[in-house]
Amino acid sequence: MDVEYLCHGVPLADYRLTKADHRRQQEAVQVHEWVQRQLAKAPPWSEERWQGLRQLLGSPTPPWELQRWQLRLYCGHVVEATRNRNSPRPDGGVCDKKRCPECGLDPAVIVAFRPLGPAAEPPTEIRSRKPGHSTRKPPADRRSKAELVAENNALRAELEALRDQA
């Protein structure tokens, strides 16, 4: 799938904060503080629950499915981050903040961004596949469409014969 990546606020070094940026940062701080208060009240999780969560989340995203972005954060620092390649924006329309690795501001709203390119090239066997085609084979107990159509026709003929007998 080809994605057309978006840019906002380029060049990043010259970006000027807007009222909307200030409002989004303030809201992000309020949400972050509320979550921290809720977490402080919550009972600690057992290792078993953490393990269950890890299983639900699955393995980490392979690097060839990630896009590199240059981000300008609310604090003014410009950093690089990787995000899922399927989204045209680094915030994916959902998470528009991150912790600034330079000054530690947490959360720091993403105010401007530009794509840099893929995080890695896919392995050769993945690149050689045709888009939209899976290399998985159907299970042995699955029948082809032709087999199902033939069985359907035979059952219809049998039903018609039973109706004629009645």
- Least Cα distance to 74 among 35, 102, 107, 101 occurs for 107
Residue 129 sits at φ, ψ, to 5 deg, of: -70, 145
Sequence ranges of the domains in the chain: 12-41+62-118
The half-sphere exposure of 150 on its side-chain side, counting CA atoms within 13 A, is: 5
Q: Report residue 127's pLDDT band, with 50, 70 and 90 as the boundaries.
A: low
**This model's pTM is above 0.85:** no
Summarize the confidence of residues 155-165 as an average pLDDT.
84
User: Between the CA atoms of 147, 152, 158 and 162, what dihedral angle is there, to the nearest 10 degrees?
Assistant: 160
Confidence check: pLDDT of 93 > 80: no
Residue 117 sits at φ, ψ, to 5 deg, of: 135, 175
Q: Tell me what percent of the residues of the chain surpass a pLDDT of 90.
A: 57
Higher-confidence position of 144 and 94: 144
Confidence check: pLDDT of 141 > 80: no
Helix (H) or strand (E) holding 133, with range, is none
Q: What pLDDT is attached to residue 75?
A: 95
Min mean pLDDT across 8-17, 51-60, 134-143 is at 134-143
- Least Cα distance to 6 among 64, 69, 88 occurs for 88
Summarize the confidence of residues 136-152 as an average pLDDT.
74
Summarize the confidence of residues 37-46 as an average pLDDT.
93
Summarize the confidence of residues 60-80 as an average pLDDT.
93
- Least Cα distance to 8 among 117, 116, 118, 111 occurs for 111
Q: Report residue 15's pLDDT band, with 50, 70 and 90 as the boundaries.
A: very high
Summarize the confidence of residues 45-70 as an average pLDDT.
91
